[in-house]
Each structure stands twice: as structure tokens, then as C-alpha cells.
């Protein structure tokens, strides 16, 4: 096995891996999961809000 053959083999493996990740990311089965994840920054975090409110009440 020459060094060029090993480089070519690694290139092919990485290309197949890249195409597999792209297909997985754009598959319709993942759409719902990614849509929910995209809305996480806009979700209210009730747990942190409660902690802040309790802390503010102690200062009063």
C-alpha cells in the first residue's frame, strides 16, 4: 500500500461521511426535532424567572 492509496482511501471515507451527515441533517425525520431546537432561544425559562423573583423578594 502506497501513501497515495491511503490518502485516497481516507478522502473517500471522509466524503461518504460528509454526505451521510448532510443527508441525515436534511432528512424529513429530523425536521420536527430541529424545528423545536430552533425555538429554544425564544422559550421562557420559568425556573430562572422564579429564582430571580425569589431573590428580588428577599431584598424588599
User: What would the pLDDT profile of 36-60 be if each residue is shown by its tens digit?
Assistant: 999 999 988 766 655 555 666 555 5
What pLDDT is attached to residue 56?
Answer: 64
Q: What is the CA radius of gyration of the chain?
A: 24
What pLDDT is attached to residue 43?
Answer: 87
Angle, helices 3-25 vs 28-38, to 10°: value is: 70
Residue listed under C-alpha cell 428580588: 56
**Percentage of the chain lying above the pLDDT 90 cut:** 55
Mean pLDDT of 17-46: 90
Is 60 exceeded by the pLDDT of residue 6? yes
What pLDDT is attached to residue 1?
Answer: 80
Q: How far apart are CA 45 and CA 21, in angstroms?
A: 31
Amino acid at each position: 500500500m502506497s501513501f497515495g492509496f491511503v490518502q485516497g482511501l481516507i478522502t473517500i471515507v471522509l466524503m461518504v461521511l460528509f454526505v451521510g451527515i448532510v443527508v441525515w441533517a436534511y432528512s424529513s425525520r429530523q425536521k420536527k426535532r430541529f424545528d423545536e431546537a430552533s425555538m429554544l432561544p425564544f422559550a421562557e425559562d420559568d425556573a430562572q424567572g422564579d429564582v430571580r423573583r425569589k431573590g428580588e423578594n428577599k431584598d424588599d
